[in-house]
């Protein structure tokens, strides 16, 4: 088959401010230079006046929960889960999760996210949606057993089946991790076996840890240990673990995270909305820990816009530490790009604009009121001024998924229609 080529002309590179042209051959960044010939190029994108960034990496979300956007606002996590989310989740099926994932994919593409890490249910149907959308995903099944041996076996069957059927799917864009939900919903036996299975399949682990004070207090009461101390005692921790939230951390837990090179997914909007607390991100970064960004699900955010998440991440650390110098724009942009890639074990493939890496790239249009004048450096303009609506073009694996703010792979109006029907049906069942 003939090689497919795309030339992005005269874009400003987000981290350096240099004006460069980028040649994409098939799925790879083949050349970066001041001037690149248009000869024999299939597609030329005039990017003058636009900012070129690596596609964003959302390291913790629940795509299908996009259906629950606005369903249970202004509650604490305990009430939110027990009284609203879990009851309606009991009525989910593969068709609802497929539609929810498609709806989320539209939002991700439109706001510049090209890679995400998802933990939820009916994940093979999520994989089907993501394959249609064309984005890159790391999928894990949310494993919850509440110490029930029969349920535990089912959870492993689900996650292993997901791995066997979907890992490497979609031209390698889909990978599968194990997804123990959390130390308070997964038994000691489940967590210990997750490490064994992750080693066996040579894959990663995605887990919620230390999200609320109640979670920590309950675990200390039952085990005498804080969450990361408990997970260390079970042998679960390692550089292949992505721990979402990590809000309530002791100094000893930070040492443990560093010791095992655990990757952290910071979810500031969800943590603020549920009043869970403030993760000590500045301190984690000072300790050389890899911190990436996640949105959590649209049910607790209420969107999947990683540009918005970047701004909140930076501002939250500044107000929490009373230091305006912490988490500057370029550092938080790295959290949303190369740190996210590193968290998912994909740093050799994505997360930066380099020859030989996958062409996961986005263009941001600066010709808009919130980006004018662009008097600051590009990182600052992107992090503090931009939002998802400024994304003009989204490319994943060398394929254009959106151009001139128009999707090329998905019919968004049809997806909106089906999503509205789905949540109406789910609410009527409750």
Q: CB within 8 A of 421, min separation 6: which ones?
A: none
Q: Is the pLDDT of residue 395 over 80?
A: yes
Instruction: Determine the pLDDT at residue 423.
Output: 94
The answer to whether the beta carbons of residues 360 and 55 sit under 8 Å apart is yes
Cα-Cα-Cα-Cα dihedral sign, residues 183, 185, 188, 192? negative
Three-state secondary-structure class, residue 345: coil
Instruction: Determine the pLDDT at residue 288.
Output: 98
Instruction: Please state the rounded mean pLDDT for residues 205-219.
Output: 97
Instruction: Determine the pLDDT at residue 271.
Output: 96
Instruction: Determine the pLDDT at residue 66.
Output: 97
Instruction: Determine the pLDDT at residue 80.
Output: 86
- pTM for this structure? 0.97
Instruction: Please state the rounded mean pLDDT for residues 355-367.
Output: 97
Q: Is the pLDDT of residue 375 over 80?
A: no
Span of 88-92, 161-165, 207-211 with lowest mean pLDDT = 88-92
Instruction: Determine the pLDDT at residue 95.
Output: 97
Hey, which residues does 263 pair with through a beta bridge?
242
Confidence band, pLDDT 50/70/90 cuts, at residue 376: confident
Instruction: Please state the rounded mean pLDDT for residues 199-214.
Output: 97
Q: Which of 225, 240, 223 is nearest to 179 (CA)?
A: 240
Instruction: Determine the pLDDT at residue 357.
Output: 98
What percentage of the chain carries pLDDT values higher than 70?
100
Q: Is the pLDDT of residue 285 over 90?
A: yes
Confidence band, pLDDT 50/70/90 cuts, at residue 279: very high
Instruction: Determine the pLDDT at residue 40.
Output: 92
Instruction: Please state the rounded mean pLDDT for residues 197-215.
Output: 97
Angle between helices 94-110 and 412-429 (to 10 degrees): 140
Instruction: Determine the pLDDT at residue 287.
Output: 98
Confidence band, pLDDT 50/70/90 cuts, at residue 185: very high
Q: CB within 8 A of 408, min separation 6: which ones?
A: 400, 401, 402
Q: Is the pLDDT of residue 1 over 70?
A: no
Q: Is the pLDDT of residue 219 over 80?
A: yes
Instruction: Determine the pLDDT at residue 76.
Output: 85
The answer to whether the beta carbons of residues 198 and 207 sit under 8 Å apart is no
Instruction: Determine the pLDDT at residue 86.
Output: 87
Confidence band, pLDDT 50/70/90 cuts, at residue 386: very high
Instruction: Determine the pLDDT at residue 190.
Output: 98
Structure confidence by residue, pLDDT tens digits, 66-107: 999 999 899 887 888 889 998 999 999 999 999 999 999 999
Hey, what are 251's tokens? 């100094």
Span of 19-23, 284-288, 425-429 with lowest mean pLDDT = 425-429
Averaged pLDDT score across all residues of the chain: 96
* Cα 403 from chain centroid (whole Å): 22
Instruction: Determine the pLDDT at residue 311.
Output: 98
Structure confidence by residue, pLDDT tens digits, 35-59: 999 999 999 999 999 999 999 999 9
Q: Is the pLDDT of residue 108 over 70?
A: yes
Q: CB within 8 A of 248, min separation 6: which ones?
A: 210, 211, 212, 213, 215, 216, 226, 227, 277
Hey, what are 243's tokens? 């721990």
Instruction: Determine the pLDDT at residue 2.
Output: 60
Q: How far apart are the first and last CA of the chain?
A: 51
Span of 71-75, 94-98, 136-140, 358-362 with lowest mean pLDDT = 71-75
Q: Is the pLDDT of residue 430 over 80?
A: no
């Amino acid at each position: 088959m003939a090689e497919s080529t795309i030339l992005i002309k005269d874009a400003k590179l987000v981290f350096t401010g240099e004006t460069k042209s980028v040649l994409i051959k098939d799925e790879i960044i083949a050349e970066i230079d001041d001037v690149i010939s248009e000869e024999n190029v299939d597609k030329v994108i005039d990017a003058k006046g636009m900012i070129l960034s690596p596609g964003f990496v959302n390291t913790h979300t629940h795509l299908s929960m996009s259906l629950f956007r606005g369903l249970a606002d202004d509650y604490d996590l305990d009430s939110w889960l027990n009284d609203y989310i879990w009851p309606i989740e009991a009525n989910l099926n593969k068709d609802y999760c497929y539609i929810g994932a498609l709806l989320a994919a539209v939002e991700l593409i439109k706001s510049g996210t090209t890679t995400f890490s998802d933990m939820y249910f009916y994940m093979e149907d999520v994989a089907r949606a993501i394959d249609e959308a064309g984005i890159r995903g790391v999928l894990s099944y949310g494993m919850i057993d509440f110490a029930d041996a029969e349920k535990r076996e089912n959870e492993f069957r689900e996650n292993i089946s997901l791995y066997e059927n979907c890992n490497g799917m979609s031209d390698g864009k889909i990978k599968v991790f194990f997804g123990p939900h959390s130390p308070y919903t997964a038994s000691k036996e489940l967590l210990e076996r997750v490490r064994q299975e992750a080693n066996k399949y040579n894959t990663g682990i995605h887990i919620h840890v230390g999200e609320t004070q109640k979670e920590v207090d309950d675990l200390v009461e039952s085990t005498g240990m804080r969450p990361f101390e408990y997970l260390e005692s079970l042998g679960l921790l390692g550089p292949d673990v992505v721990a979402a939230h990590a809000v309530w951390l002791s100094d000893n837990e930070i040492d443990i995270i560093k010791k095992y090179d655990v990757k952290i997914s910071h979810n500031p909007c969800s943590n603020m909305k549920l009043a869970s607390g403030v993760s000590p991100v500045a301190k984690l970064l000072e300790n050389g820990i890899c911190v990436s960004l996640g949105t959590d699900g649209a049910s607790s955010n209420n969107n999947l816009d990683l540009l918005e998440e970047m701004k909140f991440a930076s501002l939250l650390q500044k107000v929490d530490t009373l230091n305006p110098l912490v988490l500057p724009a370029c550092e938080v942009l790295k959290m949303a790009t190369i740190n996210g890639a590193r968290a998912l074990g994909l740093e050799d493939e994505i997360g930066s604009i380099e020859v030989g890496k996958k062409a996961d790239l986005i263009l941001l249009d600066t010709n808009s009121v919130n980006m004018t004048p662009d008097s600051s450096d590009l990182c600052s303009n992107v992090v503090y001024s931009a939002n998802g609506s400024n994304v003009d073009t989204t490319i994943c694996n060398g394929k254009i998924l959106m151009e001139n703010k128009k999707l090329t792979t998905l019919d968004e109006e049809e997806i909106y229609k089906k999503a509205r029907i789905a949540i109406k049906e789910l609410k009527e069942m409750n």
